[in-house]
Amino acid sequence: MAERGASGFRKDTVDRLLRLHFRDGRTRVNADAQLLMAEFLKVFVREAASRAARQAQAEDLRNVETEQLEKVLPQLLLDF
């Protein structure tokens, strides 16, 4: 398995997160799909963080606050 020393979501966290919201009790997630979803969520978080960081840099700030997040959030949600 490619271990780049990068963090990410644990497989069973992802599984439980999703199962929280299933309407049908029989719905499950296959193992590969769990891994893909973990990756998906990781990208989601990194996008949110990176975009907010870029926004802060555009405003010449080194500290990224919720203000920057608010500005990038709409587009983020549209892109996902």
Partner 1 sequence: QRLKAAVHYTVGCLCGEVEEEKDVQFSKQIIAAISDITFRHCEIFAKDLEMFARHAKRTTITTEDVKLLARRSNSLLKHITKMSEELASSNMEQKEKKKKKSSTAKAERTPGEQESAVTENEDSNMA
**Interface positions with partner 1 (CB under 8 A):** 6-10, 13, 16-24, 26-30, 32-33, 35-37, 39-50, 52-54, 56-57, 61-66, 68-69, 73, 77-80
CB of 75 to partner 1, least distance (A): 10
**Nearest-approach distance from CB 49 to partner 1, in angstroms:** 4
Burial class, 80, CB count within 10 angstroms (exposed 0-12 / middle 13-18 / buried 19+): exposed
Give which of 5, 3, 9, 77 is closest to 42, Cα–Cα: 9
DSSP state of 24: S
CB of 71 to partner 1, least distance (A): 12
